[in-house]
């Protein structure tokens, strides 16, 4: 990796033994034995995830958001459209598909960046896109997904993001990165 | 929840049967059977996490970052200081402890907000703080953690965040939220 430096101490944890505890529809859980830089052995619990996309889609001066029930949180959330990568699917194709499935629109995509959602225990990588010039082109959504689309004025969304009023990281992050690019 | 509306459709997924697959040092994995709004049953894979804090700590015009090896990613990252909540610990106490353990400093904390890192499969909630007026007050870190502290000019950090050059969500989010508050 280009940001590694030759003169800094070695922080690497070496895998001694892999153990897959669970392979589900979405997640794989490993509890691996690793050797730390000081030679001591410990375990690491890791969730492997296929990766995902999220889309900051704007029509005119409004942001498209989806309301959905999040079982893990036992509550509804209001988030930017998002979804996981299918095998072999590019992030761009996934973003276009998820946008059409979740909001009914397709759009002109701009890549904003990618980030790990929670590197302490998972390799989930989320690719973030902006979408504009939206055209109605609905696709049928996953049959276990129930969504409601809502609109919010873009300036209000930026304000809510800065106040920490959205529930999830990718929504706030997407809005603030898009807002920063627009104002650059 | 105050943002639920009375007139919108019911999106709730009802738990039919809980099944704990794994209870580790850090994570609990459930595969629950749930009933969807249309009456169909499916399963949800959920990772339960104790919650975490992350700290945007600035000394003068420099941001403090920690370089560490992330086993889940098989690489090093440069992130803001962070760590998980201990049982019974308040987010503020956790932030102060993690800052002392990971950088050696304690500081005056400002609450920036909280967010779910990845609500599609985990309940992990991250509390975000700013820290200023830093004073040297080191605590011994976790014995399985190996870190290197680095400093970055604050304006460079904002630029890198907007360019999507940090690897993880909480680092970019923390920098952009702190920058937005400072400029409000």
What pairs with residue A168 in β-bridges?
Answer: B116
pLDDT value at B183 more than 90 = no
The whole-number pLDDT of residue B8 equals: 60
Residue A88 CB neighbour total at 10 angstroms: 6
What are B40-66's pLDDT values in tens digits?
A: 999 999 999 999 999 999 999 999 999
The whole-number pLDDT of residue A141 equals: 73
Q: Which residues of chain A have pLDDT under 70?
A: 1-8, 183-184
Q: Any idea what the Cα angle at residue B112 is, between residues B164 and A178, rounded to 5°? A: 30
The whole-number pLDDT of residue A5 equals: 45
Query: Considering CB atoms only, which of A45, A71, A72 is closest to B26?
Result: A45
Q: Do residues A107 and A132 touch, judged by C-beta distance below 8 A? A: yes
**DSSP assignment of B12-24:** --EEEE--EEEE-
Element (H, E) at A135: strand A125-136
What are B108-164's pLDDT values in tens digits?
A: 999 999 999 999 999 999 999 999 999 999 998 777 778 899 999 999 999 999 999
Q: Do residues B106 and B145 touch, judged by C-beta distance below 8 A? A: no
Min Cα–Cα distance to chain A from B175, Å: 10
Rounded CA-CA distance B9/A67 in Å is: 10
Contacts of A73 in chain B (CB under 8 A): 116, 119, 123
The whole-number pLDDT of residue B140 equals: 85
The whole-number pLDDT of residue B1 equals: 39
pLDDT value at B32 more than 80 = yes
CB contact under 8 A, A164 and B148: no
The whole-number pLDDT of residue A8 equals: 60
Q: Do residues A1 and B167 touch, judged by C-beta distance below 8 A? A: no
The structure tokens 């004073």 sit at: B135
DSSP A140: P
Q: How confident is the model at residue B10 (pLDDT cuts 50, 70, 90)?
A: confident
Contacts of B184 in chain A (CB under 8 A): 162
Q: How confident is the model at residue B3 (pLDDT cuts 50, 70, 90)?
A: very low
Cα B178 to chain centroid distance, Å, stands at 15
Percent of chain B with pLDDT over 90: 88
> Averaged over B68-76, what is the pLDDT?
97
The whole-number pLDDT of residue A48 equals: 98
What pairs with residue A78 in β-bridges?
Answer: A67
Q: What is the distance in angstroms between the CA of the first residue and the CA of the last residue of chain A?
A: 28
DSSP A10: P
Element (H, E) at A179: helix A169-183
Query: Considering CB atoms only, which of B1, B44, B168 is closest to A71?
Result: B44
Closest CA to B184 of A130, A161, A65, A153: A161
Cα A175 to chain centroid distance, Å, stands at 13
Rounded CA-CA distance B175/B161 in Å is: 7
The whole-number pLDDT of residue A6 equals: 44
Q: Which residue of B has its CA nearest to A75?
A: B12
DSSP A24: -
Residue ranges of domains in chain B, CATH in brackets? 14-48 (no CATH), 52-183 (3.90.79.10)
The whole-number pLDDT of residue A157 equals: 98
The whole-number pLDDT of residue B181 equals: 83
CB contact under 8 A, B72 and A9: no
What pairs with residue B135 in β-bridges?
Answer: B106
CB contact under 8 A, B167 and A36: no
What pairs with residue A44 in β-bridges?
Answer: A32
Residue A67 CB neighbour total at 10 angstroms: 19
The structure tokens 């890192």 sit at: B117
Rounded CA-CA distance B123/B98 in Å is: 21
Contacts of A29 in chain B (CB under 8 A): 21-22, 27, 29
Q: What is the distance in angstroms between the CA of the first residue and the CA of the last residue of chain B?
A: 28
The whole-number pLDDT of residue B27 equals: 96
Q: Do residues A96 and A81 touch, judged by C-beta distance below 8 A? A: no
Contacts of B1 in chain A (CB under 8 A): 75-76
């Amino acid at each position: 990796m280009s940001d590694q430096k030759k003169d800094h101490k070695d922080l690497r944890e070496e895998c001694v033994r892999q153990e897959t505890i669970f392979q589900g529809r979405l997640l794989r859980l490993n509890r691996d034995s690793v050797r730390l830089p000081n030679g001591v052995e410990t375990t690491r619990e890791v969730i492997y995830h296929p990766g995902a996309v999220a889309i900051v889609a704007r029509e005119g001066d409004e942001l498209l958001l989806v309301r959905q029930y999040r079982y893990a949180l036992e509550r509804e959330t209001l988030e930017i459209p998002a979804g996981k990568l299918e095998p072999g699917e590019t992030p761009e194709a996934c973003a276009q598909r998820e946008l059409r499935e979740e909001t009914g629109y397709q759009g002109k995509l701009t890549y904003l960046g990618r980030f790990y959602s929670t590197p302490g225990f998972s390799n989930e990588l989320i690719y973030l896109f902006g979408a504009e010039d939206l055209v109605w082109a609905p696709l049928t959504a996953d049959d276990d997904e129930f969504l409601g689309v809502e609109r919010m004025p873009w300036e209000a969304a930026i304000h809510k993001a800065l106040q920490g009023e959205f529930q999830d990281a990718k929504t706030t992050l997407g809005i603030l990165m898009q807002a920063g690019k627009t104002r650059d």
